[in-house]
Structure 1
Amino acid sequence: MILEHALLAIKPGQSAAFEAAMAKARPLIAALPGFRSIAVRKACESPDLYLLIVEWEDIASHRDGFRLSERYGEWRTLLHPFYEPMPVVSYFGEPL
């Protein structure tokens, strides 16, 4: 199991629209093989910053499964216009 982590910096004033788009995007990722869970949390002190954590069976489920799927195109269309700058994705392994 791995965790995908990204800090999502949203264009100022776009948080409500981003949250609505994320609600539409969640089913796109949840239906894929290797997906386990998704959590999106809003920063307490920065109204336009979110933490995305997605649990996958392995990195390939995200990179080779989701990122190469048609669903990723839909995800990108829904969410990428909100990011400034584009987020950096990192992967984390099992707990120590």
Structure 2
Amino acid sequence: MILEHALLQVVVGQEAAFEAALVEAKPLIEASPGFRGIEVRRGCEAPGLYLLIVQWDTIADHRDGFRKSDRYQQWRSLLHPFYDPMPTVAYFGDVL
């Protein structure tokens, strides 16, 4: 299993709208082959900061599957307008 990790910096003051859009966007990613789970957590000390963790079977399930799908285009249109700056995605493998 692979963990996709991203720190999402949402424009301050747009947190409630982002969270509403996230509820709408979640079924798009959940329908993806290789998807195993998603967590989004609010930061405790920084307004607008969220931690995204998505579990995938493989990196290709995210990059070649979800990101090249029509569902991703919808995900992007729902969520990307809230980010400043755009998040950097990183992948993590087995627990040591």
Class of the TM-score when normalised by the shorter of the 2 chains = over 0.9
Structure 1: runs of 5+ lacking an equivalent: none
What is the rounded CA distance, in whole Å, between the counterparts of 1:10 and 1:72 in structure 2? 19
Following TM superposition, by how much is the alpha carbon of 1:46 offset from its aligned partner in structure 2, in angstroms? 1.1
> How large is the Cα RMSD of the aligned pairs?
0.4
- CA separation in 1, counterparts of 2:47 and 2:69? 31
Q: In 1, distance between residues paired with 2:64 and 2:48?
A: 30
SS at match of 2:12: coil
Please say if 1:92 is aligned against 2:92: yes
Correspondence for 1:48: 48
- How far does the alpha carbon of each residue in 1:29-67 deviate from its partner, in whole angstroms, 9 at most, with x for none? 001100000000000111200000000000000000000
The 2-side partners of 1:72 and 1:53 are apart by: 16
Report the number of matched residues.
96
**What amino acid is the match of 2:23?**
A
Displaced runs of 4 or more, over 6 A: none
Partner of 1:39: 39
For 2:94 and 2:66, the matched residues in 1 are separated by 21
- 2:74 is matched with 74
Q: Percent identity?
A: 68
The aligned counterpart of 2:27 is: 27
Q: What secondary structure, in the 3-state scheme, does the structure 1 residue paired with 2:22 have? A: helix
